[in-house]
C-alpha cells in the first residue's frame, strides 16, 4: 500500500514537472530517487523471499516467550548505505551472523527480479560487508563513460578504458598490473579496445611504442603521438632489442641513484623508476603489440632465428621491464603453445587478461584457463552481434564483462594529434620515430579500373 502511494506521488510529481523542460541530469536523478525508494520499500520482503534473512537471536525469542509477546521476525542484513549512481544504485549491507558473501552472489538473479532491476552483482568489500551494485538498464548496450572517469594524479598510469556491466568504470592500471594480454577473434573489437587505451594514454606523460604487423593500418594513423613504431617483424626485432638496451640503461641509472648506505632510511632507496626524483625519472614506456602471432610465425630458417630473438626480447621486457617503467600490452587472436617455445613463458608474465569474443574454448583457455576457469565460459558466450564486449580478469582472480566506448579511428587520430607535443624523444628509440609522410599509392590496384568503352 505504502509503495502504491509513493509511486502515485512520484508519477504525479513527474507529470507536473513534464510541462517544464528539465535537463537530462534531472531525469537521471529522478530515476535514481525513484529506484532508491522502490528498493527501500521492498527491502525487507525481498530479503525474506530470497532467503537472505536469519532467525532472531535466542535471547529475543526467550524474552518474547517470557513476556508472552509475538515472536520477533527474521532479521535482514542491515543497510549501511544506499547510493544512487548514474546507472542505478549501490547498496552496502552488513551481514548478520551466519550469513556469507556467497549467499548474496548466489541470489543476485533473484534479487534482480525482485527489485525490478536490469542486473545485480555482489562483491565482498571486507569481512561482514557486502556491496550490491544494481543497474537499471543494459549499460553495455551503448557505452558512455562517466565524465568524472579520468586518469587521476595520485595514480598516474591508471586510465579508464571501459565500462563494467555493473556500471563501474574498468581501469587499466599499469603500475599494479604492468603487462596485459588481449585476445579475441576477428571483428571482436580488439582494435577499438586498443585505440581506447591509446586515447587514454595520449594525454599522459608516457612514451608510446607500437608494433603493428598489419602493415601499420591500426597504429600508423596515430603516429604523431608515438615515439617509435614498427610495421614488420624485422623492424620489430630491432625495436625490441633497442628497448631491451634502453631498459638496461634505466637499470644503471636506478643503480647509480640508489645511494644504499646504512645511514639512509629505507624509503629513500630507489628500487624502480617511481622511487627516483621527478627530475631524474625516465619516461615510462607502454609498448603496444597488435597481432602478436605475426611475430611468432616463421617459414624459413632465417625467420625462425628472427622469431626466437623477438620472443626472447619480449620475455626479457616482460620479466624485467616493470621496474624500468616498460609496460607491455599484447593483442592477438590466439596466444598459446602452438606459436612455439617461449610463448607460454611470456603469457605467464602478462597478468592483465582481457578476452573478446573467441571462436573456441581453447582460445578462451589461453586467456583465463590458468587464472579464472569460470571466465572461460563467459568469454565463449559472447555473441558476435555485440562486438566490443569482453571479459576482463582482475588480479584477485575475479572477472567482469566489460565494453570499451566505440572510439572511431578519426576520434583517436584527432586526440593523438592534439597531444602530439607530449610525445617524448627517447634517444635509444630515435631511429624508429615515425616521420609524417604521405604514403605512396599501393602498387596493386585495389579496384578494377573501368574499361575505356564502359
Ligand X SMILES: Nc1ncnc2c1ncn2[C@@H]1O[C@H](COP(=O)(O)OP(=O)(O)OP(=O)(O)O)[C@@H](O)[C@H]1O
CA 268 to chain centre: 33
Binding residue per annotation — 245? Answer: no
Instruction: Tell me the DSSP string of 307-328.
Output: HHHHHHHHHHHHHHTGGGTEEE
C-alpha cell at position 148: 568524472
Measured CA to CA, the distance from residue 407 to residue 425 in angstroms comes to: 27
Quick one: three-class SS letters along 147-212? CCCCCCCCCCCEEEEEEECCCCEEEEECCCCCCEEEECCCCCCHHHHHHHHHHHHCCCCCEEEEEE
The rounded distance, in Å, linking the Cα atoms of 272 and 286 is: 16
Nearer to ligand X, 164 or 190 (CB): 190
The reply to whether 191 sits in an annotated binding site is yes
Quick one: 164 or 281, whose CB is closer to ligand X? 164
Q: Distance (Å, rounded) from C-alpha 244 to C-alpha 319?
A: 11
Query: Nearer Cβ to ligand X, position 224 or 406?
Result: 406
414 touches 426 (CB < 8 A): no
24-49 vs 108-115: helix axis angle to the nearest 10? 120
State which residue, 244 or 402, has the beta carbon closest to ligand X: 402
Residues found in the chain: 454
Shortest Å distance, C-beta 192 to ligand X: 3
Spatial neighbors of 432 by CB under 8 A, at least 6 apart, are 209, 227, 228, 229, 230, 235, 238, 239, 242
Residue 86 CB partners (closer than 8 Å, separation 6+): 28, 146, 167
CA-wise closest residue to 328 among 409, 253, 247 = 247
185 is in an annotated binding site: yes
What is the nearest approach in angstroms of ligand X to the Cβ of residue 163?
10
Task: Compute the least distance from the CB of residue 236 to ligand X, in Å.
Answer: 18
Q: How far is the CB of 390 from ligand X (least distance, A)?
A: 9
Q: Is 428 annotated as a binding residue?
A: no
CA-to-CA distance for 73 and 404, rounded, in angstroms?
A: 46
Nearest approach, Cβ of 327 to ligand X (angstroms)?
A: 21
> Which CB atom, from 170 or from 246, has the smaller least distance to ligand X?
170
| Dihedral (CA of 92, 97, 101, 102) sign | negative
187 is in an annotated binding site: yes
Residue 411: CB minimum distance to ligand X, A: 12
CB-closest chain residue to ligand X: 388
Minimum CB distance to ligand X, residue 270 (Å):
39
- The reply to whether 189 sits in an annotated binding site is yes
d(CA 398, CA 26): 35
Annotated binding residue 341: no
Positions touching ligand X (CB under 6 A) are 184, 186-192, 387-388, 403-404, 406
Q: Identify any residues that bridge with 285 across adjacent strands, giving them in sequence order.
A: 207, 326
Binding site annotation covers 186? yes
Q: Which CB, 189 or 434, lies closer to ligand X? A: 189
Question: Residue 187 or residue 304: which is nearer to ligand X going by CB?
Answer: 187
Q: How far apart are CA 249 and CA 395, in angstroms?
A: 30
Smallest distance from the beta carbon of 117 to ligand X, in angstroms?
23
CB of 185 or CB of 237, closer to ligand X:
185
Instruction: Return binding residues.
Output: 184-191
Instruction: Return binding residues for ATP.
Output: 184-191
Amino acid at each position: 500500500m505504502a509503495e502504491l502511494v509513493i509511486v502515485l506521488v512520484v508519477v504525479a510529481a513527474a507529470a507536473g514537472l513534464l510541462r517544464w523542460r528539465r535537463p537530462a541530469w534531472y531525469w537521471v536523478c529522478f530515476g535514481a530517487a525513484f529506484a532508491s525508494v522502490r528498493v527501500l520499500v521492498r527491502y525487507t520482503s525481498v530479503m525474506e523471499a530470497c532467503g537472505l534473512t536469519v532467525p532472531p537471536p535466542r535471547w529475543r525469542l526467550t524474552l518474547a516467550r517470557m513476556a508472552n509477546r509475538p515472536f520477533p521476525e527474521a532479521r535482514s542484513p542491515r543497510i549501511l548505505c544506499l547510493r544512487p549512481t548514474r546507472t542505478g544504485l549501490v547498496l552496502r549491507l552488513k551481514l548478520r551472523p551466519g550469513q556469507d558473501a556467497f549467499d548474496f552472489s548466489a541470489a543476485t538473479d533473484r534479487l534482480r527480479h525482485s527489485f525490478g532491476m536490469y542486473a545485480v552483482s555482489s562483491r565482498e568489500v571486507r569481512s561482514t560487508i557486502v556491496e550490491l551494485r544494481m543497474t537499471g538498464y543494459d549499460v553495455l548496450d551503448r557505452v558512455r563513460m562517466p565524465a568524472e572517469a579520468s586518469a587521476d594524479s595520485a595514480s598516474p598510469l591508471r586510465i579508464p578504458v571501459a565500462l563494467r556491466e555493473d556500471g563501474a568504470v574498468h581501469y587499466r592500471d599499469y603500475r599494479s598490473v604492468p603487462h596485459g594480454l588481449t585476445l579475441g577473434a576477428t571483428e571482436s573489437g580488439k582494435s577499438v579496445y586498443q585505440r581506447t587505451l591509446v586515447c587514454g594514454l595520449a594525454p599522459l606523460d608516457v612514451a608510446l611504442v607500437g608494433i603493428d604487423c598489419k602493415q601499420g593500418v591500426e597504429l600508423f594513423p596515430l603516429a604523431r603521438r608515438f615515439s617509435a613504431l614498427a610495421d614488420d617483424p624485422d623492424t620489430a626485432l630491432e625495436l625490441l632489442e633497442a628497448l631491451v638496451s634502453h631498459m638496461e640503461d634505466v637499470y644503471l641509472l636506478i643503480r647509480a641513484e640508489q645511494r644504499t648506505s646504512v645511514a639512509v632510511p629505507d624509503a629513500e632507496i630507489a628500487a624502480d623508476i617511481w622511487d627516483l626524483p621527478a627530475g631524474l625519472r625516465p619516461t615510462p614506456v607502454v609498448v603496444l603489440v597488435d597481432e602478436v602471432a605475426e611475430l611468432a610465425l616463421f617459414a624459413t630458417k632465417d625467420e625462425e632465428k628472427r622469431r626466437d630473438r623477438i620472443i626472447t626480447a619480449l620475455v626479457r621486457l616482460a620479466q624485467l621491464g616493470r621496474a624500468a617503467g616498460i609496460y607491455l600490452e599484447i593483442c592477438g587472436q590466439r596466444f598459446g603453445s602452438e606459436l612455439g617455445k617461449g610463448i607460454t613463458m611470456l603469457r605467464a608474465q602478462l597478468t592483465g587478461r582481457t578476452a573478446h569474443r573467441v571462436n573456441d574454448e581453447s582460445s578462451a583457455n589461453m586467456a583465463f584457463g590458468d587464472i579464472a576457469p569460470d571466465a572461460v565460459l563467459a568469454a565463449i558466450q559472447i555473441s558476435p552481434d555485440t562486438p566490443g564486449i569482453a571479459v576482463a580478469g582482475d588480479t584477485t582472480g575475479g572477472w567482469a564483462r566489460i565494453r570499451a566506448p566505440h572510439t572511431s579511428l578519426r576520434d583517436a587520430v584527432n586526440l593523438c594529434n592534439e597531444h602530439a607535443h607530449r610525445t617524448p624523444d627517447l634517444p635509444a628509440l630515435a631511429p624508429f620515430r615515425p616521420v609524417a609522410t604521405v604514403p605512396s599509392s599501393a602498387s596493386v590496384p585495389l579496384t578494377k579500373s573501368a574499361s575505356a568503352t564502359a
